[in-house]
Amino acid sequence: MTRWRIATIVTVLAAAACARTGASRPPLRWGGDAEGGAPFVEADPADPSRVRGFDVEIAGLIAHGLHREPVFVQVAWSSIEASVERGDFAIGMSGVEDRLELRARHAVTIPYFEFREVLAVRPADSSRFRTLDDLALHRVATLGGTGAYERLLAEQPRIGLVPISYDDDVHPYSDLVSGRVDAVLLDNIIADRSLRRSGGFYIQPAPVATGHYVGVLALRDSALRDSVNVILRARMRDGSLEKIFRAWNVWDDSQAGYFARALADTSTTRLAASAHADRSVRAYLPALLRAAVVTLVLSCLSMLLAVALGIGLAAGRVYGSRIVRAPLAIYVELIRGTPVLLQLFVLYYGLSEFIRLPAFLAAVLGLGLNYAAYESEIYRAALQAIPRSQLEAGRTLGLSEAQILRLVRGPQALRLALAPMTNDFVALLKDSSLVSVITVVELTKQTAIYATNVGSWLVPGILCAAIYLAMSLPLSRLARRLEQRWSAA
Amino acid sequence: MVRDVQASRGAHQVLRGVSLDVAPGQICALMGTSGAGKTTMLRAIAALGPFDSGSIVVDGFALAPGQVPPESKLRVLRRSVGMVFQAQSLFEHLSVIDNVTLALIHALRWTRERAEAEALALLATLGVAHRASALPRQLSGGEAQRVAIARALAPDPTLLLLDEPTSALDPARRGSLGEVLRALAAEGHGLLISTHDVDFAEGFADRVAVLAGGVVVEEGPPREVLSNSAHADTRALLRSPSAEARG
């Protein structure tokens, strides 16, 4: 009896001690991207300040296994790796794919889910496009920075397909349905979700490859990673993970097979070497330079459009009747008052029901139409800055209004407009990075892909900045020289 | 050619019935204190500003009262009337020769060679041919004035309007400008010059018209009007700084 009593007291004390330690331990901060949505991580429709999804529940399991409280940290999916090394959170989990490079740079948990990379095509093409090999010269979309994108890049030279990278996993499928791309290669979970949501495409049953989701920790946190692995194995064994996956409707026989294999093999899962093993600067420089050409061509074409349209808008507002001036003023204010990002989205996705613009053309139009509004204000101000006596002198000489604009007012206004125009062009060169949202891979996007792959922004960032400067500095210099020549002459 | 012209700026009636004649080969000085309406009169004749009533006829072309008609309806007038502005109005981005040839090439459709030959001859007459390739901002005040006259003269107008041509010139340059204008009159151009420079008018004008209160209060040969004036407004003009400077 006494012994029992002592044992009870010891147990209660130990439990209390445990509870106290648990309470005093800091919460487990874990990072994920709620924009990725269900079933990974999504804002809870019942309480948008909370998140839910299988990654959320697994993070909960891990935290409780560590006797800590889980705290969610929102992070952009493409920044999870950089953020975890910075120490923003202890573990990143949001459909993070297992890759060799990931393991080289971070402490990575054992995979907790096996997914299949599947090919989605339009129903009419289901017998034509069965595998990647059938897609020579066709556009294949996927999410940038994923294993699927890496695979498309690796297969590009052999098959001759055209990889198209997206910033989100919704638009690849809508563009597939609308015919902008011919296939989408992504995780079966994402493909199934899109099929349920909007439909209109067919998923090839044979997977292109399999992959795994893992948790990613900072390299220095390998001890914590080992504890997490112990917890994950225990939860595989006791069926908690299966229960979560079943609840989120992503459990199938292949998953059961994977769990059995993972529990039998105590070493970490073997991983096939990536086709892109060479991560040196030399390997990425050609891609960066090609992307720089895209940026330059895009910027030049957009600026040409902006200048031509801007001159028209300015002339209309200076010379036009009230009926002409009013709509032009509305255009300028509307464009200047709304984000260019929104305009690009509307142009590319919003109008796609009526007119399906190719991405590059939409980018040129979007930037050109946007900058035209700003240019027109510069030209309008410059035209109005030319003294009235200059125009009257032209009139008394018998020149027509059009001749006065072309020979007297325009050339002088151009000299006034040159400096602000150059500023705008340099700004446009940098704003052109926004068009990656409509799948154009330009310099910044290519740099982001590079940075994701090497797991650091330092070298890619410096290279990217150097290329931008190499493009913008000569331009500023040219403008300065022209200004000097015109003012000194 | 100017009959009973009335013009107003806003609510203020500037001209209340002005009549003027400038014959070919004649220099007429339109005099008056600041704000008397000299520039308004010149601008109405050059169809740069409106007038309310009366008539303006130049070389057979009649301007109607009311708003200034569009340029397309003023082609004939533009060929007959040249204007030299008070403010520097040379085209800053064009060289002297290009300023002078602009109207010849683009309004009269001359070839560049012919226009440049004509322009150089004009610039030589005015003594500024050596500045042909200079830009306006590189010219002195006197040179700019002569280039502006050359530009206005290039299309060979019958009537040349000059708005306060001496205001930016020192006395020596005023004299030489006067000589140039006399030579132009001798070639048959009619010149209407707005000025409050009594010396200049007395020295070079054939006729003087004094504008006061929106009407021409006195008109006649300069010596008659300026030496023996009985009119209070003319005497006021004679008391102006330029008149006092005569000593």
Q: Chain A contacts of B75, Cβ < 8 Å? A: 398
CB A217 within 8 A of CB A225: yes
Classify each residue of B165-193 as buried b or exposed e, where b means 16 or more C-beta atoms within 10 Å of its C-beta. bbeebeeebbbebbebbeebbeeebbbbb
The answer to which of A60-64, A149-153, A480-484 has the lowest mean pLDDT is A480-484
A276 falls in which pLDDT band (50, 70, 90)?
very low
Percent of chain A as helix, strand, coil, to the nearest 5: 65, 10, 25
- Of all residues in chain A, the one with the smallest CA distance to B68 is A395
Cross-chain residue pair A393–B155, CB shorter than 8 Å? no
Cα(B83)–Cα(B1) distance, integer angstroms: 17
Q: Can you identify the CATH homologous superfamily of domain A2-112+214-273?
A: Periplasmic binding protein-like II (3.40.190.10)
Delimit the domains of chain A by residue range. Answer: 2-112+214-273, 115-211, 281-488
pLDDT tops 70 at residue A160: yes
What is the pLDDT, as a whole number, of residue A297?
A: 95
The neighbouring-strand residues paired with A42 are: A52
Cross-chain residue pair A412–B75, CB shorter than 8 Å? no
Give the pLDDT confidence of A207-259 residue by residue, as tens digits: 999 999 999 999 999 899 999 999 999 999 999 999 999 999 889 888 888 88
- Tokens 């006061």 appear where? B212
The answer to which of A337-341, A449-453, B34-38, B145-149 has the lowest mean pLDDT is A449-453
Q: Can you identify the CATH homologous superfamily of domain A115-211?
A: Periplasmic binding protein-like II (3.40.190.10)
- Of all residues in chain A, the one with the smallest CA distance to B49 is A392
Minimal CA separation from A394 to chain B, in Å: 8
Minimal CA separation from A392 to chain B, in Å: 7
Task: Tell me, yes or no, if the two domains A2-112+214-273 and A281-488 fold the same way.
Answer: no
The mean per-residue pLDDT over the stretch A66-79 comes to 88
Give the pLDDT confidence of A315-327 residue by residue, as tens digits: 999 999 999 999 9
A281-488: CATH topology is MetI-like fold (1.10.3720)
Give the pLDDT confidence of B13-36 residue by residue, as tens digits: 888 889 899 999 999 999 988 888
CB B234 within 8 A of CB B217: yes
Which among B72, B83, B106 is the nearest to A396, CB-wise? B83
Look up residue A148 and give its amino acid.
A
Closest CA to B45 of B163, B156, B150: B163
* Residues whose CB is less than 8 angstroms from the CB of residue A262 and which lie 6 or more positions away in sequence, other chains included: A110, A111, A233, A236, A269
Tokens of A223: 């001890």
CB A372 within 8 A of CB A390: no
Angle at A331 (CA atoms; ends A330, A337), nearest 5 degrees: 85
